[in-house]
Amino acid sequence: MKKISVIILCILILFTSVTANGLNLAVTDVENNITFDESLDYNGVDCSVAVDAELMTFAKSVVLMEKSTGRVLYSENENEKVFPASVTKIMSILLVCEALESGKITLEDKVTCSDNASSKGGSQIWLEPGETMTVHELLKATCVYSANDACTLLGEYVAGSETAFNQLMNKRAKELGMKNTHFDNCTGLDDTTDTHLTTAYDIAVMSRELIKYDFIKEYTTIWMDSLRNGETQLVNTNKLVRFYDGITGLKTGTTDKAGCCVAATAERNGMELIAVVMGSENSKDRFNSAQNMLDWGFANYELFVPVIPSDSVKTISVDLGVKDEVNVLYPEIPSVLINKGKSDKIKVNIITQDGISAPVTQGQKVGVIQILSGEKILSECDITAEKAVEKLTFFTAMHKILSSL
């Protein structure tokens, strides 16, 4: 009897512990109707990693990229071709953003659902043929719920047909330098294709391009929302949106071929990072891997804005010009990515010509600003002439002499 009581007590303690932590042991991935274990209490995990420590990731391939410089901070198998699942939609959303920016479409435009869009499987908002939604609503359904029918309908609206939109996707991929990418559709559904492939690096590249549109983060950071006057509930497939400090997006993906994938973006102190995780065995691994990389990046890197010394050259002499000197213009120096706490090692080197000969054109290069860390040049910017200076002629020379007299 005593032994049975002890067993019952242990069971009660275990049950109380699990309930107290508020753990959800079975959560459905709405992208693919796959059940995965989400028992990890992310908020209680200390994922801070020292710069020299091994960064723990659980995936086929990963990339950590800084947005402003495009510099890769960490990678594993970044050029290995993989199935991207719904991470594909980053390119679809990018093309929609570009169509909005150009004025080709607006968020208020009403779009009528086609038979083709309504027939898409996987994650969807169950659009009916002939049903009308705005671009705003369709974009929200695509970004938050990864709805294949909404994404397809947006593609048809932008390009005229799903096929034409797919061609635009591949054309844009080439323009961005995504050398190892080929899209067969705009959704990432891969049950009928073996050629819909990309890489972790290429995904980071298109993610970097997408997050240049700040307004898209109004969609990618939504945790819960609804459509059809509250009848259709939307829950973000990106679980990091719930808790990760500074999260800005971006897109998840899950299929049997792709495994569990995510492109996660976050910003802190003016620095935005892109963590791409491809081919994790389960959803917990993909989010852990993304969080580990983001935490590691924020812990070990920062953006630093160098300052031009106040005593820098203000003018440069001009030989044989109608004016003896020209003012110089210093550009806005871009931020440089450095190891955190190493800003005292950054130097600004100003190099200007002693003099230049007329004629001088406005914007002509007259020097350079070098940003250095030790002997290594991190970046260079041109110093230019503020205004044009014409060459001195006989008549302008005589006028100048007479004026001085």
H or E element in which residue 37 lies: strand 34-38
- Per-residue pLDDT at 48 exceeds 60: no
Average pLDDT over residues 340-364: 93
Regarding predicted confidence, which is higher, 48 or 198? 198
Give pLDDT tens digits for 168-218.
999 999 999 999 999 999 999 999 999 999 999 999 999 999 999 999 999
For 220, counting Cβ atoms within 10 Å of its Cβ (0-12 exposed, 13-18 middle, 19+ buried), the class is: buried
Average pLDDT over residues 223-244: 96
Phi, psi of 215 (to 5 degrees): -65, -25
pLDDT for the residue numbered 16: 37
pLDDT for the residue numbered 388: 95
Average pLDDT over residues 59-79: 97
pLDDT for the residue numbered 155: 98
State how far the Cα of 82 lies from the Cα of 200, in Å rounded to an integer.
8
Chain-wide mean pLDDT for the chain? Answer: 87
Give pLDDT tens digits for 311-343.
999 999 999 888 999 999 999 988 999 999 999
pLDDT for the residue numbered 54: 65
Least confident of 150-164, 221-235, 259-273, 342-356: 342-356
pLDDT for the residue numbered 29: 36
Q: What's the residue count for the chain?
A: 405
**Is the preceding omega at residue 129 within 30 degrees of 0, hence cis?**
no
Regarding predicted confidence, which is higher, 26 or 342? 342
Regarding predicted confidence, which is higher, 388 or 405? 388
Task: Give the rounded distance of the alpha carbon of 300 from its chain centre.
Answer: 19
Regarding predicted confidence, which is higher, 101 or 310? 101
Query: Tokens 């990072």 identify what position?
Result: 273
pLDDT for the residue numbered 43: 30
Give pLDDT tens digits for 279-321.
999 999 999 999 999 999 999 999 999 999 989 999 999 998 8
For the chain, domains (ranges, CATH) are 31-301 (3.40.710.10), 315-404 (2.60.410.10)
- Per-residue pLDDT at 159 exceeds 60: yes
Q: Please name the residues in contact with 73: beta carbons below 8 A apart, sequence gap of 6 or more.
A: 64, 65, 66, 273, 297, 301
pLDDT over 70, % of the chain: 85
List the beta bridge partners of residue 327.
Answer: 315
Average pLDDT over residues 157-165: 98
Active site residues per annotation: 86, 89, 146
Q: How confident is the model at residue 394 (pLDDT cuts 50, 70, 90)?
A: confident
Regarding predicted confidence, which is higher, 54 or 257? 257
Classify residue 387 by its DSSP letter: S
pLDDT for the residue numbered 325: 94
Ranges of beta strands (E only) in 184-312 are 224-227, 232-235, 247-255, 259-268, 271-280, 301-304
- Per-residue pLDDT at 350 exceeds 60: yes
Report yes or no: 53 and 72 within 8 Å, Cβ to Cβ: no
pLDDT for the residue numbered 91: 98
Regarding predicted confidence, which is higher, 391 or 81? 81
Q: Is 188 left (phi over 0), alpha (psi -120 to 50) or beta?
A: left
CA dist 186 → 99, 111, 157, 159, 174 (Å) = 15, 17, 13, 12, 16
Give pLDDT tens digits for 117-135.
999 999 999 999 999 999 9
pLDDT for the residue numbered 397: 66
Look at residues 216, 219, 85 and name the one whose alpha carbon lies nearest to residue 141: 219
- Per-residue pLDDT at 45 exceeds 80: no
Look at residues 292, 218, 293, 285 and name the one whose alpha carbon lies nearest to residue 250: 218
Report yes or no: 117 and 156 within 8 Å, Cβ to Cβ: yes
